[in-house]
Every structure is written in C-alpha cells, then in structure tokens.
A and B are shown apart, each in its own frame.
Chain A
Amino acid sequence: MTALRTVTSTRRLPEVDVVVVGMGWAGGIIAAELAKAGLSVVGLERGPDRPADGEEFTRKHDELRYRVRHGLMQDVGRETWTFRHHDGEAATPMRHLGAFLPGTGVGGSSTHYGGNTARFAPWEFEMRSRTVERYGEDAIPAGSTIQDWGLTYDELEPYYDRFEWAAGVAGRAGSNPFEGRRSRDFPLRCHPDPETSTLFGEACAGLGHHPFPMPLAILSEEYTNPDGVRRGACVQCGDCAHFTCAVDARGDARVVSLPVARRSPKFELRADAEVLRVLHDGRRANGVVYQVEDGTVEEQPAGMVVLAAYTFNNVRLLLTSGLGRPYDAASGDGVVGKNYAYHVHALGTAFFSDRTFKKYMGAGGGGQAITDFAADNFDHSDAGFIGGAQVMVASGGGAIGSLAVPPGTPSWGAAWKDAIRRWYDRSLSVSALGNVLAYRANHLDLDPTYTDSHGDPLLRITFDWQPNELAIASFAEARIREILTAMEPDHLVTAADSGHFDTVPYQGTHNTGGAIMGAEPRTSVVNSWQQMWDCENLWVVGGSAFPQNGTPGPTGTICALAYRAAEGMQTYAQRPGMLA
C-alpha cells in the first residue's frame, strides 16, 4: 500500500458544535435532533441538493433516467469499490453500478428506497447468545464472527417508536405475531392491498403461515408528525425504489428531518462538499476537511464529528483518516472493516393467464410478508442453518424492468414479443430477504491499487456466500415455491442465490458492518450509542454499525439507532466522556 496523501485545507472555518458527514436518513435525523437541542450543526453532503421543485414533477419517475441509468446513485466514475471473493483472489473495480446502489445527494439513499422500515426481531440483537443458549456453541457456523449488538431490542424500542411517528409509518400493530413488544400502534393505517398481495396473503394463511402488511414509511393519509411536519398521502403510483417521491408521501431525510433542522438558524447544510479526512490527534476528532465543486479544500472544526455516510463511506473515511485499528483478516486482530455483511435472496414468479394485476400501482415496497421463517421463529434444530428470511410479495413497476416471461420462453424474436404482451401484467413475484452472518473471511479494507478521482484508495470488498447463507436461500426458495404453488398458477419459476457472489445483477442496497457496535472495544468500533471507543467525540452511525445483518431491511433499525445516537450526543454535549 502506498502512503496516503496528505490533504491540506486552504481555509479554516469557525468551529461549530457538531459536523455531520452525510445527509441521508441517519445524518438528517441527527442534524434535526441536535439542531432542535440548540447545538450549532453543519451538515456536509458530497452529492447535490435537489430542490423539490427543481425538476418537473412528472420527470422524477422517468424509468430510463432513474431506474436504468441510476440518476440518484453514487457516481462510480469518480469513486467505486473493488471486489474479490476471498483474500487469495485479485480484486477488480466494480466499473459499473450493479449489485447495490448507494444514493448520493441530500437525502442519500432515503430518496430512493421502497419505504420499508420494519423492525428487526429481538432475536437479531442477541443472535450469538440466543443461538448458543438454545442450540449450543456448535450451532455457530464455522468461521463466523457473529456477536450480540451490545443493545437489546427492548432498549432500542423507544427509538423505533420515535422514528415511526416522525416518518409516518403505516402498519398494523399485532399483525405480525413474531414482532417484538411495541409501546404503541403505528401512526397510520395500512395502505390498500394490491391484488398480488391479497393472493399472497391468502396462500400464506392457507399454509398456516402468518401474513401481515409490511410497515411502510409512506403516508396512507395526510399526516402531521410530532415535529409539526405536515405531508400528504401517497397516490399509489408504484414508483418508489430508484425514484424520489413526487408527492413527498414517502418518509425520507429531505422531507422529514431536514425541514426540522432548517428551522434552526444554527444549522447549515452544505451540498457538493466531499469530506476527505477526519482530523484528529489519535484520541479526539477536531473536525473534517472537505472539497467543494471548484476543488477548494476547506476545514470545518467541530466539537463533535458524526460520520453518517453510507456503510462503505463511513468505513473508508475511518481508514483513510487513520482512525481505529484496521481489521486484519489473517490474524483476526483489529476492528475497522470487520464483519462486512449483506443479504441473501431467493425469488419466485408465478404466471396467471386469467388475471391482470395492474402491478405498476401500489405503495413502494408494500404488500404482505411473513416472518415465520426468519430469526428463530421456528425450531432450527434440524434446519442446517441459523437465521432465516422474510418472505414477501414483490412490487412491480415501470415497463423496461418488468418483462417477466414463463420459463422456456425465447429471450428475443416473435415468440418473445408475443410472450411479453401476454404476461406483462399477469405475473406475481415473491422474494425472500435472508440474513447474512458475519465471517472472519468477509471484510473491508483499502485497495492497494485502485484510487478514486482524488487519488485516494478505493474501498476493497472481500465477500462471498457462506454455507449458512446458501442454505437460507435454498430453504427460502422452497417455501416460495410452496406459496406460489398454492395460488395455482399456470407457470412458476423460482431461483435462489447459489455458488459465488456476483457483483453485476442488482440484488439490494443492504450492505452492513465494518464499523460495528458492541459491548467492548476489543471486538467493536463503536459502543451502543454509536460513539467510537478509540475517539470519544467521534460517532459512526448507520448500517456500518450492524455486527451482522438481520432481516428484513436495515432502514428502520438504522434510523432508530440514529435517534438513540442523537440522544447520546446531547448527553455528551452536556457531560463529555464515554457513554458506555
């Protein structure tokens, strides 16, 4: 590895109480909460600020520009990641976006998600200890480095609740019997059920499963949240994932958090400001240096520094700034870059010649799901794996990416042309989102060869499927097949992740770990308040803190952790020191 370049600033700005790096969900929540508390806050976002009225209303859902050409996503021409399956393989750069799509710009990835914000089950937070307790130490997969979070579900519950009421989550308390204790109901009733979802729910119930409407941070009716932010209802347009919401019904940092932060004269948001280093003396962070569009590098001193960028960018900034102890996969020592994880997937599609689903309608990632086969919700004694998957009905949308045809159909020519007409709106997909555990072999570090547009090293991802994950995927595929078969379709096809990880097809933007939380500094980067063990005024917030990945999606848990971290920062502002 060549030595990291020295970044020098040409201008030192006045010190503020807090500088927040990244204006996505986590950064937005923290900016809002600290601004409300009267602290001076600067929010830095390396992507653009897209004003709500900056683009014609209808153009926001242009499928080519946003779903196909990734208009809201990180520009990998400037900075990408390198990838290898294991330490012995040569890493190559991901030259095009593929498996995952981190967003860029104010609002971050919250501006293009499906609105899914389900809580993790209590088991996820104590995966290691509960597995050992019920099945014995031998049940932990070989090479796995899973650990408890250092925080229980019950401790996080009040923050899930705050998030759900701030964002406006539609759901029905008690509908998922496997969910943890809730202090109160969701603030909003569920969305109408599309036909695909009703069919899925009936099939699941018939098999003895427990279908429930997935909680969605998408307003089912007009809503004013506890911060006084008022937004209108979803129009069921079907274009959530990959797109900004045209009516601001989907909860994201832009419409929920930043309006609150902006009420404070002591909050300032700077877009197109890319943080290059965290300044520190080894024990305390002093601020950050960042580059603006014209190439100028500025220094923003701060009493507290918060890294709230995407998982990868949090970890990379720690490494390029020389903060924390880098993880060494060979020895297992160190922590920064450790326990990188993801989600494993299975998918099935059923075709019904006598139905039309109007599947381009609906609320984002909505519809029904089951968690009968997730967490430890069934007896794993003979399962051959730990963890599991949420199984859910998938939402359709658009045209370019929604041309499913039955197995055996040619992929081009007259027969294909006729098949896409026949089946376009007559198919229904069910997907499964499964745990990826943490392993000694799966990790993040700085690439020794490839650099970004500034000359800084890219982050290198070392990752592959492990037997536990492939067993989850294959198990979930079998459950999907049972559910779809119960619907009596004309055709049916299922698939599951297998073999080795492929960076090309889109799979999901649920990358976690690398700056994990835990109960002690030897095995984690941050404590349960997301405060860095080695640097008490530095906070690293986001999916990077997950010790391993739970199921389903990470958004709700990231946001709950952000509310809790913001509370910890307020405590710290009054009384500095380690909070745990």
Chain B
Amino acid sequence: MAAFFTPAETAAVEALAERIFPAAPGSPGAIELGVAGYIDAQLAGPWGQGAQMYRKGPFVQAQDAGHGWQSPLTPAEVYRSCLRSLDDAARRLHGAPCADLGADHLDAVLTALAGGELEDFREVGGPAFFGMLRQNVIEGLFADPVHGGNRDMGGWRWIGYPGVASAHGADYQREVARHGVPYAPEPSSLR
C-alpha cells in the first residue's frame, strides 16, 4: 500500500534495504520482510512529516560537532531529496539507478554513501542519510509487525526475540532466574 514513495522510490529503497539485510537460502531479506512498506508508512505518518521536530529558524549549520541535525527538512523531504541524489550518483558511477543495479554495484554505492564520498546530499550529508536509512531498515526488520514490517515476525525469528512479554502472556518471574536454560517460545506480536 503506497503512501509516500513513488514506485521508483519504493524500488530504490527495496534494492538498498535488501543489501543491508540480504536474503539467503532459508532466511528472508528486507524485501520479503516488508521493510520498504514500513518505511513508506513511517514517512507518510507523523514522524516522516516532522512531528516532534523543532522547525523554527534560523537554520544555521553549526561550526562544531555535537549540535545534531540542523536541516529544516522533514524525514520525508530528506528521503525524497537524498534518494534522487543517490540515483544520480548510481547513474554517474554505474550507469543505472539504484533499483536496476546488481548487488556489487549497489554495495559500492552504499559504501560510498556511508563513507561520505558522494556529493550533493544538500545539508543532510551522505553519511547522515545512510545512518537514517540503516536505522529505518532496522526498525522495519525488528519493530512489531503492527507497523507494517517484520512480516510474520521474521526479523524476530532471525535473532530469537519473542516480542513484548505481555503479548504472549509470559510471566518471566520464574524464567529470569533459570540461568543457562534457553527460552524460545513462538513469538507474538501486538496484533
């Protein structure tokens, strides 16, 4: 269900997210777990639209580190702008937009992005956009499935997290004191 992304943006985010958390034989990757749809919904929602973000000016890029994000862009605006820059870079370096690149070329684009080697990411900066993308991918893999990602709790199954205790009626009072005894219930979501 599209909410914010254009089809091309969805394709780019799917390709990038899959390189961050790739499928392997017997284990799902970011595409199968619904990560791009999760990010799309987040960008269309309050967070993506700048809720809980101080947006009054003046906007000044601090001279010293430690001042944090000073761009007026909302997360949704950051994605729109930075995905365009990233596709431009992909075309320049490898002759095609992200969605059409093979794994090796996509990995090279992501490495360059994270390493600050790509230009034209407005005041956001390539490494900051990579950090945001990576964080959102992690959310899409491991947030409760009610938010649209982590399909069939596949992210949780991968690491062995059972979900919120109260969702599966667990009482850990006894379990916490049983040292060395694994605990592996079927995970439960908030649905």
Residue of A nearest to B131 (CB): A411
Apart from the given pairs A412-B20, A417-B22, A424-B159, 12 other A-B contacts in the complex at a CB distance below 8 Å:
A57-B166, A75-B51, A77-B51, A83-B66, A94-B68, A236-B165, A238-B172, A239-B164, A361-B176, A362-B176, A412-B134, A413-B22
Contact surface of A with B, Cβ cutoff 8 Å: 56-64, 68-70, 73, 75-77, 80, 83, 85, 89-90, 92-98, 192-195, 198, 233-239, 246, 355-356, 358, 360-362, 398-400, 402-403, 411-414, 416-417, 420-421, 424-425, 449-451, 500-504
Provide the bound-state CA to CA distance between A402 and B139, in Å.
12
What is the CB-to-nearest-CB distance from B112 to chain A, in angstroms, rounded to a whole number?
Answer: 13
**B52 contacts which of A70, A83, A237, A500 (Cβ < 8 Å)?**
A70
Give the chain B neighbours of A198 by CB distance below 8 A: 179
Q: Which residue of A lies closest to B146 (CB)?
A: A62
Residue contact B62 to A58, C-beta cutoff 8 Å: no
Q: Which B130-148 residues have C-beta < 8 A from chain A?
A: 134, 138-139, 142-144, 146-147
Q: Using CB atoms, name the residue of chain A closest to B17.
A: A412
Q: Which residue of chain B has the shortest Cβ distance to A233 in the bound complex?
A: B173
Q: Flag if A85 contacts B166 (CB, 8 Å).
A: no
Q: Is the CB of A451 within 8 A of B107?
A: no
Contact assessment for B64 and A500 in the assembled complex, using a CB-CB cutoff below 8 Å: yes
Q: From DSSP, what is the main secondary structure of chain B's interface residues?
A: loop
Out of A92, A193, A412, which one reaches B67, CB within 8 Å?
A: A92
Q: A76-B54, A414-B22 are in contact. Are A63 and B144 (CB under 8 A)?
A: yes
Tell me whether A235 and B53 are in contact (CB under 8 A): no
Report the nearest A residue to B22, measured CB to CB.
Answer: A414
Contact status A68-B143, CB under 8 Å: yes
Contact call A235/B159, Cβ cutoff below 8 A = no
Could you show 26 A-B contacts with beta carbons less than 8 Å apart? A59-B190, A63-B143, A64-B147, A75-B52, A83-B67, A92-B62, A96-B53, A96-B68, A98-B68, A192-B177, A194-B176, A195-B179, A234-B173, A236-B165, A358-B175, A361-B175, A362-B172, A412-B21, A413-B19, A413-B20, A417-B21, A420-B159, A425-B160, A500-B66, A502-B65, A504-B68
Chain A nearest CB from B146 CB (Å) reads 7
A399-B161, A500-B64 known; A236-B176 Cβ under 8 A: yes
Most buried by B among A233, A236, A411, A425: A236
Residues of B within 8 A of A85 (CB): 64, 66
A58-B167, A94-B54, A94-B68 in contact; A403/B138 too (CB < 8 A)?
Answer: yes
Say yes or no: A96 contacts B155, CB within 8 Å: no
| Chain A positions within 8 Å of B156 at CB level | 399
A238 touching B55 in the complex, CB below 8 Å, given contacts A90-B62, A414-B24: no
Task: Count residues on chain B whose CB falls below 8 Å from chain A CBs.
Answer: 59
B164 nearest in chain A by CB position:
A61
Whether, in the assembled complex, B162 has its beta carbon less than 8 Å from a beta carbon of chain A, the answer is yes
- Check B66–A504 contact: CB distance below 8 A: yes
- In angstroms, Cα B58 to Cα A449, docked, is 8
10 nearest CB pairs, A to B: A237-B165, A236-B172, A424-B159, A64-B143, A192-B177, A399-B142, A361-B172, A195-B179, A502-B66, A412-B20
Q: Are A246 and B166 in contact (CB under 8 A)?
A: yes
Give the nearest-CB partner of B144 in chain A: A62
B16-39: CB near A (< 8 Å → 1, else 0) gives 000111101001000000000000
Q: Which residues of B sit under 8 angstroms from A63, Cβ to Cβ? A: 142-144, 164
Contact A77–B54 (Cβ < 8 Å): yes
Query: Is there an interface contact between A64 and B164, defined as CB atoms closer than 8 Å?
Result: no
Please tell me if B125 contacts chain A, counting CB pairs below 8 Å: no
**CB of B41, distance to nearest CB on chain A (Å):** 11
Chain B positions near chain A (C-beta within 8 angstroms): 19-22, 24, 27, 47, 50-56, 58, 60, 62-70, 107, 110, 114, 134, 138-139, 142-144, 146-147, 155-156, 158-162, 164-167, 170-173, 175-177, 179-180, 182-183, 190
Q: Are B54 and A421 in contact (CB under 8 A)?
A: no
* Interfacial chain A residues near B162, Cβ < 8 Å: 360
Chain B residues with Cβ below 8 Å from A356 are 160, 182-183
Query: Within 8 Å CB of B183, what residues of A?
Result: 356, 358, 361
Q: How far is the CB of A515 from chain B (nearest CB, A)?
A: 24
Complex: A414 Cα to B94 Cα, angstroms: 22
Q: Which of B63, B66, B143, B161 is the one whose CB lies under 8 Å from A360?
A: B161
- Contact partner, A95, options B21, B70, B144, B180, Cβ 8 Å: B70
Most buried by A among B138, B161, B170: B161
Contacts of A501 in B (CB 8 A): 66
List of A residues within 8 angstroms of B24 by Cβ: 414, 417
CB-based nearest A residue for B175: A361
Complex Cα gap A97–B54 (Å): 9
Known: A64-B143, A237-B166. A412 touches B69 (CB 8 A): no
Contact check, A424 vs B53: say whether CB atoms are below 8 A apart.
no
Q: How far is the CA of A60 from the CA of B22 in the complex (A)?
A: 31
**Contact (Cβ within 8 A) B159 A399:** yes
* Minimum CB distance partner of B159 in chain A: A424
**What chain A residues lie within 8 Å of B165 (beta carbons)?**
61, 235-239, 360-361
**B141, chain A: closest CB distance, angstroms:** 8
Docked Cα-Cα span, A504 to B68, in Å, equals 5
Question: A413 to B167, alpha carbons, bound, how many Å?
Answer: 31
- Min CB distance B116 to A, Å, is 14
Neighbouring B residues of A83 by C-beta, 8 Å = 66-67
CB-based nearest B residue for A450: B56
A115 to chain B, nearest CB (A): 15
Which residue of chain B is the closest to A193 with respect to CB atoms? B177
Q: Are B134 and A411 in contact (CB under 8 A)?
A: yes
User: Would B134 and A80 count as touching, CB distance under 8 A?
Assistant: no
Nearest CB on B from A216, distance (A): 14
Give the complex CA separation of A95 and B67 in angstroms: 9
Which chain A residue lies CB-closest to B157? A421
- State whether B176 touches A69 (Cβ < 8 A): no
Cβ–Cβ contact A503 & B52, under 8 A: no
Q: How far is the CB of B160 from chain A (nearest CB, A)?
A: 6
| Contacting residues, chain B, for A69 (C-beta < 8 A) | 47, 52
One of B63, B66, B171 near A235 (C-beta < 8 A): B171
User: How long is the Cα–Cα vector from A70 to B139 in the complex, in angstroms?
Assistant: 14
A97 to B51, CA, bound (A): 11
Q: Do A96 and B138 touch across chains, with their CB atoms under 8 A apart? A: no
Contacts A62-B146, A98-B68: A235 and B161 contacting too (C-beta < 8 A)? no
Query: Whole-angstrom distance from the CB of B77 to the nearest CB of chain A?
Result: 13
Of B20, B69, B70, B139, the contact of A68 (CB 8 Å cutoff):
B139
